[in-house]
Amino acid sequence: MLLPKGFQTASVAAGIKPSGNADLTIVVSDTPCAWAFAGTRSAAAAACVLRNRERHAALTPVRALVVNAGNANAATGRQGEADNAALAELAARTYGLETGEILTASTGVIGHLLPMERVSSGFGRLKTAPSRDAGLFARAIMTTDTRPKLAERTLSGGQRIVGSAKGSGMIHPDMATMFAFVFSDAAIAQDTLRAAFPGIVARTFNAVTVDGDTSTNDMAAAFVNGAAGAADPAEFLAALEEVMRELARMIAADGEGATKLLTVRVQGAASEEQALRAARTVAGSALLKSAVYGNDPNWGRVIAALGRADADMNLEGLEVSVQGVPVFAGRPLPYDTPAVSQLMRAEEVVFEIDLKAGSARGEAWGCDLTEGYVRINAEYTT
Amino acid sequence: MLLPKGFQTASVAAGIKPSGNADLTIVVSDTPCAWAFAGTRSAAAAACVLRNRERHAALTPVRALVVNAGNANAATGRQGEADNAALAELAARTYGLETGEILTASTGVIGHLLPMERVSSGFGRLKTAPSRDAGLFARAIMTTDTRPKLAERTLSGGQRIVGSAKGSGMIHPDMATMFAFVFSDAAIAQDTLRAAFPGIVARTFNAVTVDGDTSTNDMAAAFVNGAAGAADPAEFLAALEEVMRELARMIAADGEGATKLLTVRVQGAASEEQALRAARTVAGSALLKSAVYGNDPNWGRVIAALGRADADMNLEGLEVSVQGVPVFAGRPLPYDTPAVSQLMRAEEVVFEIDLKAGSARGEAWGCDLTEGYVRINAEYTT
């Protein structure tokens, strides 16, 4: 998949990831971009998140995004802040830009200083192989992801939107260990993009939950450089949401150790906020996630999760279905357990819930909880 | 372990648990008890919780607690309410008590109607074997627990406090799938007991987290019948907290699939509430729990969890130690990773955190997250 017009990328293996895979990458726009950003709500947010938030408040355009994977540069104190600033300076020097035009993003293990000699040496090799292949970027930002994540849409005027994301552990509604970057050659006013971006993030990336943890580093950002001309704002925003939704589902499906995607659709909620919260709470239940792994239609765990979701519901009318089969409607319904279990042996398991408390809807995505999750996370640093 | 004076118990295998183990049990006091109760905050609380809460508000004494295990009688609608009332009626008829003098508690799978014929038949056999063995009660209330949980203290005046608890999945701060019942033959004013009970519950049972889920059924209750005479209230309440703390640690250590106890001690917090919330958030982190299982001193996950704990902290001074070894003090500290990993191969792993934001303290308990947890919960109903 090619990046939109006017964007180029490059990646190198700087030696940050022990695997020797590409771990330092940049996307540069030929011209300044309008952009929008959303960062983790963690009180221990990493230096890159804090710096991008400052840039965002400054309202000035950006030209480039530099990402390293394999080291989150989080909980690294003042040295970490200095190293993060150095990332932007190295990128600026390499590409002849201002440091203020550059965003930074780091992902990986927390609490280790960035190996700045390797990073610096990596920058020296970065500019020699410019490319438009979005896959290069998608692969370089991976950590425990099992596959690169890319999505695209083309607008009626020919402008393109290309997004790339990474997961996959420590993912939770409040912008967890997740990157999602979207690039477009459409021309869209920065105000329009920024007004819509938080809502789109709430309905897409923040509706993904893998393990209830919230990362110090995660962020979503959209960059538009206008190289393919003006687009209809409504069409653009709808396509942007589709790209981000597709990426969100990819992240959930590739949760650490996951064997299937868990989708929770809530309707009949008193508000969209409550619908999303209920859907996320159910999708994040460790007990339900374990049951989904075991193809066990244990809908009681849906009720238990809803009970702590802080969302209005009418228990006497509440409806739950699994893979389209009604299992609860104010009381347990009879159903063919082996048949429903068989239906759950699918790539995607869908729970539909009607709270019977209003008319708002929301959807969230997670994955099953497996022995693989435990193995991956028991062995991450040692 | 014998129950305190004036209490007797009996248990039968009524056929609610598929295993054929004891699953219906009662504790009866010779005389009316002063009592205190705390139930789940779940909006989908089971009939037994709702009924006990009503009894609690009525302020009248109780004489008996009847418990069934193997079926939570939750999400069972109006029939479930009727069946729960029938539990109290059957107990009242069997022991010649008023239904209002009886509390009920059900635990097990959610969303299945109680097999009332078996329950009724079980009551017929219950009164034939009265006993003072608290172990009978402790075993009958177990579900996925691997061992019965009992603790006791004797006051200077000879009065005794005996507590029994059950876990072990779906356990979380807000009174999750957990029962904790404490019986004493001390004479204590109900007002004194009820004034202190919520704080004791907050510092003990609500500081236990196993998987982030909150059950529809969980509850803690204390019963004092005065059979051994008046006790010093302060001495009594201190001993009660010790018993409940010991039970809380037992529940955490016996979390589903757990191989070790995870203890998180927080100091330097702005308030006790913040200290407890920070401790619980860290103890409940799926990523940290996986790391503890793997003997991995990945303290970065402590920082990540603190970041979403909604507790004041001074990141530049924040201190973290693992098994007594300082690993972070505003910045990563050098330490011998294999040596710390070796120290983590213990029955209890302790993280100590100083938030440097005040002088309040709090402690929480959890367990490691293992492949065993996933296996148990993937196969619970099918």
Window from A166-180, A200-214, A263-277, B249-263 with minimum mean pLDDT: A166-180
A365 and A280 together in one domain = yes
**Is the residue at B1 inside a domain?**
no
Residue B59 lies inside a defined structural domain of this protein? yes
Residue B2 in any domain: the answer is no
| pLDDT band, very low/low/confident/very high, at B171 (cuts 50, 70, 90) | very low
Determine how many CB atoms are found less than 10 A away from the CB of residue A343: 17
Mark whether A58 and A168 lie in a shared domain: yes
**What CATH number has the domain bearing residue B306?**
3.10.20.340
Residues A217 and A303 in one domain: no
Binding residues of B for substrate: 143, 166, 177, 256, 377, 382
Q: In this structure, are B172 and B66 located in the same domain?
A: yes
Asked if residue B112 belongs to a domain, the reply is yes
Crossing angle between the packed helical segments B190-203 and B233-253, to the nearest 10 degrees = 30
> Which of B251, B276, B303 finishes a domain?
B251
SS3 (DSSP) at B20: coil
Q: In chain B, what residues touch A174 (CB-CB under 8 Å)?
A: 308
In Å, how far is B304's CA from the nearest CA of chain A? Answer: 6
Average pLDDT on B92-120 reads 94
pLDDT, position A144? 81
Enumerate the β-bridge partners of residue A321. A326, A352
Q: Indicate whether B239 and B290 sit together in one domain.
A: no
Interface ipTM: 0.73
Tell me, what DSSP letter sits at residue A301?
A: H
Q: Are residues A268 and A367 in the same domain?
A: yes
The reply to whether B67 and B207 lie within a common domain is yes
Q: B-contacting residues of A 37-56, CB under 8 Å?
A: 40-45
Per residue in A150-182, pLDDT (tens digit) is: 999 999 999 999 999 998 654 443 334 789 999
The CATH number linked to B236 is: 3.60.70.12
Sort strands B360-367 and B261-269 into parallel, antiparallel or unpaired.
antiparallel
Residues B269 and B244 in one domain: no
Give the number of domains in chain B: 2
One domain, residues A66 and A212:
yes
CB contact under 8 A, A300 and B111: yes
**What is the pLDDT averaged over residues A269-274?**
95
Q: Are A198 and A305 found together in one domain? A: no
Question: How far off is chain A from B26, nearest CA to CA, in Å?
Answer: 26
Report whether pLDDT(A53) > 60: yes
What's the rounded mean pLDDT across residues A107-111?
86
Contact with chain A for residue B62, Cβ under 8 A? no
Domain that holds residue B317: 261-378
pLDDT given for residue A262 in this prediction:
96
| Same domain as B310, residue B207 | no
Chain B residues 181-200 with CB within 8 Å of chain A: none
Query: Which residues in B lie closer than 8 A to residue A72 (C-beta atoms)?
Result: 300
CA distances from residue A101 to A9, A33, A161, B351 in whole angstroms, order as listed: 16, 9, 21, 41
Contacts of B137 (CB under 8 A, 6+ apart): B3, B9, B11, B25, B27, B67, B164
Residues A319-334 have a mean pLDDT of: 95
pLDDT at A129: 78
Distance CA(A285)–CA(B214), nearest Å, equals 9
The catalytic site residues of A sit at: 177
Most confident listed range (A27-31, A289-293, A365-369, B328-332) = A27-31
Q: Let me know whether A89 and A196 are in one domain.
A: yes
Residues 6+ apart with CB under 8 A from A234: none
Residues B6, A380: Cα–Cα separation, whole Å: 55
Number of CB pairs < 8 Å for A and B?
235
**Candidates A310, A333, A382, partner chain B, best to mutate (most B CBs within 10 A):** A382
Rg value, chain A, Cα: 21
Q: Is A78 on the interface with B (CB under 8 A)?
A: yes
The reply to whether residue B379 touches residue A296, judged by beta carbons under 8 angstroms, is yes
Annotated binding site of A for substrate: 143, 166, 177, 256, 377, 382
